[in-house]
Structure 1
Amino acid sequence: MAQVGTLSFIEENEVITSRPEIVGTFGVVATTHWLATTAAMTILEKGGNAFDAAAAAGFVHHIVEPDQNGPGGDVPIILWSAARKKVEVICGQGVAPATATVARMKALGLDILPGTGHLPAVVPGSFGAWMLLLRDHGSLTLREVMTPAITAARDGFLVKREVASLLHHTGGFMKTHWPTSAAVFLPGGQAPVAGSLLRVPAQADSYERILREAEAAGGDRLRQIEAARQAWYQGFVAEAIDRFFRQPVMDTTGEAHAGFLTGQDMAQWSATVEAPVTLDYAGYTVCKPGPWAQSPVLLQQLALLKGFDIAKMDHCGPDFVHLVQECTKLALSDREAFYGDPKFADVPLDRLLSEEYNAGRRKLIGAEASLEMRPGSIEGKGGRIPLRARGSTRMAHSETTVAAEDDTSGILSWPQFLAKTRGDTCHLDIIDRWGNMISATPSGGWMTGSPVVPGLGFCVSARGQMFWLDEDHPNGLTPGKRPRTTLTPGLALREGEPYMAFGTPGGDQQDQWSLHAFLRHVHHGLNLQEAIDAPGFYTDHMPSSFYPREWYPGHLAVEADFPKATLAELHRRGHKLEIHPRWGHYNSMTMATRENGVLRAAASPRRMQCYAIGR
């Protein structure tokens, strides 16, 4: 700061961020909703560790972000345990039902799975993952961890503008076709207005019943956690889901279908622990879940970028954006060809992340934007990539249902509207004073994905829409198989020591926005908040993981606060620009770091709900 008389001038090298980078020594929390953040910090203040706090935040997310996730959703978790001195992944991704086969789906006239309803449902995995986390790493009682979510459900939470709009447009559909959803999300039969409070007592009742059954098992903390898990996967939750899925419900085909998910599917599934997939890069070891998520995409992007001097590039300049974008296209094309549940598919990750393979892939990067899908070739591995141009998919078998209340066109049918109105994801990063570190990405079970299960008050994950109806593809639908998801939390070690937890919502964009923030922090010296605030970009140059699975060749979405010269040069290079206003992306990046006992955290200003706190 320079002063002249009574006037003050900001020096050019002083950066003003949207909010401060949080710095402390006791604990830091960054999540995509302020109520989840405060719930987690409250747990830390009560003496809980980062894992207790993460579960509390996860349960709150399930309540207060119904457009993004719900209690019946999915979650991958990656953590560093200070006691165990290692990184672990907890898989809370449920599997396809035992009777859900490609043949049965095709017999219904489907060539891809619908995006809503009973047909794309998988076993809801979030609850089991949180129970496994608390059993193996937590310290507080289940009631202490779940009480903030129950309180939010009973007392109410702020209805965001996006949620109000979504319920306004889909309210008629819910009342006509999904009345159980209308009973929960349309109090008094009306869509709540933005800024009002929405209460979901039915969800609070379900959580309370789980606690009562858990506490009836006795005073032992571990016994209660197991009793809660059994109540969910073998008790009243599984029974309610089994009954409901025998009833046909409307989906994006424009027809009503019963589901395949049963109580037996629930009883046979449990969350699992596995080792992370890792890549060494610029002094960091980046750790991710396996290829049942899209997570190795970020690692392959880094493997490709090893061949370039990123630090010498302007992180807001055209060379940086173009290079990162072209590496992303190559990594995402390999995702589409090779990724799937490694319990069912031979995914050649060692090859995909090797220097030899990526040295050959780098040669495909030119001065102009690629407009092609270019997966690599690995003998005996991978599958065909279906390519559907944007806008080409027939949205439903039947378009005769009542038109949606769409205030822009007034002509969308309900199947069309639901196909274009998908849910998304939440995220959290937490570090405690003992050095425990966790990153998790709760998602699925959103209120427009499937109807509310009677007696439970929540929906079941429609994550199965990410399978291909191709038995020969690594991500082809198979009973008992995990769909290849978009959910991708991350950890990074620096010189072998746990350093960073990071991630974001955003579907196919998750490992794009995470990469950009990571590179800007590592190579350009931006602090966490600066790296998050910096202009964002992403591509839809790949088949979407969500119904109707379309792609947009050459697409490049950018925020308008890039320099005009950068935008002009990217356009000249052939990128098909889609320009958003400043902070206009859905990017809700959060990050937290630990170095020499000092903890830092930051959260995105986009969407106006992410928050980081700490002390």
Structure 2
Amino acid sequence: MAPRGFDRIGPRGAVSSTHHLGTAAAAGVLARGGNAFDAAVTCGFVLQVVEPHLCGPGGELPAVFVTASDPVPQVLCAQGVAPAAATIERVRGAGCEIVPGTGLLPATVPGAWDGWLSLLRDHGTWELADVLEPALGYAAGGFPLVPRIPGAIGTVAEHFRTHWPSSAATWLPGGRVPGPGEVVRLPALAATWRRLLDAARGPGREARIDAARDAWYRGFVAEEIERFARTPVRDETGRDHTGLLTADDLAGWSSHYEDAVLADAGRGWTVAKCGPWSQGPALLQQLRLLSGVDLELPGGVATADTVHAAAEAAKLAFADREAWYGDAAGGVVPVAELLSDAYTTERRALIGSTSDGGLRPGSPGGREPRIGVYAATPGAGRGAGTEGPGTGEPTVSPHGVARGDTVHVDVLDAAGNMISVTPSGGWLQSSPTIPELGFCLGTRGQMFWLEDGLPSSLAPGRRPRTTLSPSLALRDGEPRVAFGTPGGDQQDQWQLCFLLSLIHGDDPAGGAHALDLQAAIDAPTWHSTAFPASFAPRGWEPHGLVVESRLGADTLADLRRRGHAVDDSGAWALGRMCAVGTSAGARHAAVDPRSGVGAAIAL
């Protein structure tokens, strides 16, 4: 273990995000009297500019939050839906076995603008122009590229030059890949935001925000998206395809609120997650499965027994994700049964002493699980013949080499408003820049299957089963921690590592169960790859287990003896966790040191 870090602690508020400029902007909002929602929205817009390889204006977001007046966790779903023309027959007719991870075919309705503005209107206090000001300043005036952005651009530079000229014009100044620290400007995006602010007119704050929402979903942005989507562009299939989004698709959609899904995490803790249109309940299933297991994490470092049990629990939970999770519009998802005592006990009995290499979904309520042919085939994504700019979300590789993925924001204010948000999509490398708007579309539709009858089969108006998974934890019924991480399929496994360290880890210097947020984030991490991936080409590896070497050589050897195909990713390689919390009236903030870009501030 490296020397232990400590929480940032202050009396008035706390912010943690995946980029220091976003965190600084949000902290500035809190310092000037804004609340947690004002600060989160401000940070979210900044991240769209300064982490463009990880999120963008054309993406989406889920959020879990509580307000100062209501401690019951709520969810904002700003995940856009499949276009009306998006049918299995239409996409298969374009020569696709799975939905491509790049280009225009996988685009869903962009949800981020409506989501952020809904949070601002309903729970914030500031004007849209004020929360957008820092991001607009970076887009117009320039921002320095963190090292991973040039790397991401470099992997797609030739594709940009050959097939996506609008992206080349945006990201290849003078035809070259910009260097780390180089200042880049996004004038087209700045102009789009100015037009949206010009449209934000009305007799009151809410009316002004709604007018800006209309300008996006029923105005010039929607019209330009439809026009651009009609142009064939090269995607990872190696062929040119048009998109399916229309202005009517945008006009007929809006974000919405719903109840969070809750489950007991032990020792007085309860965790709140988004519903099964996300992978959020998979974290809850893992926690429930492990509630009957002896867990040992001395100093936050899990033993071989604990890592093995967690990996086997993850396989069971994510097999259920594949068989049962999806948009409720496609049928009822049996969440209550999946989290029930009886079902959990039945599934826990499947955790043996050695690694299981099968995909074993359960039968909640006696229902027969169904997994598609492609998903049921280990390694199906190998040699898929994809080409072009990437494989959808640029998440971690099987070897744990971080290439980015998405972003995360947690904010807590003095009044007790607390929010966790995981924005994503609209990555610069997964879809061509729309020149008149200055941003690209998201490709979340790649999470649909092109097989009928599955809970996540492609269908018009359906939400893809997203990996985006913010979290909020309560202790003894009181909201205590907001947390989350980028990482695609790994999000709810790295969050499990964090929670196990926080709840079950002990600090010899501070007494039993005394790990703070930073120590729990710093603890060694792991994840399984033994279930179907959510991103193209969507393969999986039986027995696959990626670990950080800080678990210890003896632990890794023990895991290999148990049959795990252990991939040592290095000492500090897995996760980009963020967290804020409250304890004894103080506000705490912590952030993952692994990326070197995130920041946490308490004030």
TM-score by length of 2: 0.94
Which residue of 2 is the match for residue 281 of structure 1? 265
Q: How does 1:78-227 map to 2 (within 5 A)?
A: 78-214=64-200, 217-227=201-211
Q: Is the 8 A contact 1:338 1:381 kept in 2?
A: no
Instruction: State which drifts further: 161-170 or 605-614.
Output: 161-170
The reply on whether 1:239 has 2:223 as its aligned counterpart is: yes
The reply on whether 1:290 has 2:275 as its aligned counterpart is: yes
Q: How does 1:319-338 map to 2 (within 5 A)?
A: 319-338=305-324
Q: CA deviation at 1:543?
A: 0.7
What letter corresponds to residue 297 of structure 1 in structure 2?
A
What letter corresponds to residue 612 of structure 1 in structure 2?
A
SS at 1:350's partner residue? helix
SS at 1:561's partner residue? helix
Q: CA deviation at 1:196?
A: 1.3
Instruction: State which drifts further: 550-559 or 167-176.
Output: 167-176
What letter corresponds to residue 596 of structure 1 in structure 2?
A
Q: CA deviation at 1:83?
A: 2.2
Q: How does 1:356-371 map to 2 (within 5 A)?
A: 356-371=342-357
Which residue of 2 is the match for residue 349 of structure 1? 335
Question: How has the CA–CA distance of structure 1 residues 247 and 599 changed in structure 2, closer, same or farther, with 3 Å as cutoff?
Answer: same
Q: Is the 8 A contact 1:393 1:548 kept in 2?
A: yes
Question: How has the CA–CA distance of structure 1 residues 276 and 419 changed in structure 2, closer, same or farther, with 3 Å as cutoff?
Answer: closer
Q: Distance in 2 between matches of 1:52 and 1:311?
A: 40
Identify which of 555, 561, 569 aligns with 1:572: 561
1:104-150 deviations in Å (ceiling 9; x for gaps): 11112222100001110000001111111011100011111000101
Q: Distance in 2 between matches of 1:312 and 1:518?
A: 11
Q: CA deviation at 1:493?
A: 1.1
Aligned residues: 582
Which residue of 2 is the match for residue 409 of structure 1? none
The reply on whether 1:431 has 2:412 as its aligned counterpart is: yes
Q: How does 1:363-402 map to 2 (within 5 A)?
A: 363-378=349-364, 379-380=366-367, 382-385=369-372, 386-390=375-379, 392-396=381-385
Identify which of 384, 388, 394 aligns with 1:414: 388
Q: CA deviation at 1:369?
A: 0.9
Q: Is the 8 A contact 1:558 1:578 kept in 2?
A: yes
Q: Distance in 1 between matches of 2:368 and 2:435?
A: 43
Question: How has the CA–CA distance of structure 1 residues 391 and 280 changed in structure 2, closer, same or farther, with 3 Å as cutoff?
Answer: closer
Q: Distance in 2 between matches of 1:151 and 1:598?
A: 32
Which residue of 1 is the match for residue 289 of structure 2? 304
Q: Is the 8 A contact 1:318 1:566 kept in 2?
A: yes
Which residue of 2 is the match for residue 6 of structure 1? none
SS at 1:230's partner residue? helix
Which residue of 2 is the match for residue 404 of structure 1? none
Q: Is the 8 A contact 1:22 1:600 kept in 2?
A: yes
Unaligned runs of 5+ residues in structure 1 are 1-13, 398-412
Q: Distance in 1 between matches of 2:160 and 2:297?
A: 53
SS at 2:62's partner residue? strand
1:458-517 deviations in Å (ceiling 9; x for gaps): 011100000011220010001000000100000111111111101000000000011111
Q: Distance in 2 between matches of 1:252 and 1:489?
A: 29
Q: Distance in 2 between matches of 1:24 and 1:172?
A: 48
TM-score by length of 1: 0.92
Instruction: State which drifts further: 54-63 or 83-92.
Output: 83-92
1:510-549 deviations in Å (ceiling 9; x for gaps): 0001111111111112211111111111111111100001
SS at 1:414's partner residue? coil
Which residue of 2 is the match for residue 469 of structure 1? 450
Identify which of 444, 448, 467 aligns with 1:486: 467
1:46-85 deviations in Å (ceiling 9; x for gaps): 1100000000011011111111110110100110011234
Q: Distance in 2 between matches of 1:420 and 1:439?
A: 21
What letter corresponds to residue 107 of structure 2 in structure 1?
A
Q: Distance in 2 between matches of 1:528 and 1:32?
A: 16
SS at 1:444's partner residue? coil
Q: Distance in 1 between matches of 2:491 and 2:139?
A: 28
What letter corresponds to residue 606 of structure 1 in structure 2?
R
What letter corresponds to residue 483 of structure 2 in structure 1?
F
Identify which of 36, 41, 54 aligns with 1:68: 54
Q: Distance in 2 between matches of 1:75 and 1:559?
A: 29
Q: Is the 8 A contact 1:449 1:462 kept in 2?
A: yes
**What do you get for the CA RMSD once the two structures are aligned?**
1.7
Q: Is the 8 A contact 1:90 1:272 kept in 2?
A: yes
Q: Is the 8 A contact 1:346 1:474 kept in 2?
A: no
Q: Distance in 2 between matches of 1:582 and 1:265?
A: 46
Q: Distance in 2 between matches of 1:513 and 1:167?
A: 27
Q: Is the 8 A contact 2:380 2:538 kept in 1?
A: no
Q: Is the 8 A contact 2:285 2:339 kept in 1?
A: yes
Q: Distance in 1 between matches of 2:194 and 2:138?
A: 13
The reply on whether 1:536 has 2:525 as its aligned counterpart is: yes
Q: Distance in 1 between matches of 2:581 and 2:199?
A: 38
Unaligned runs of 5+ residues in structure 2 are 396-403, 506-512
Question: How has the CA–CA distance of structure 1 residues 390 and 421 changed in structure 2, closer, same or farther, with 3 Å as cutoff?
Answer: farther
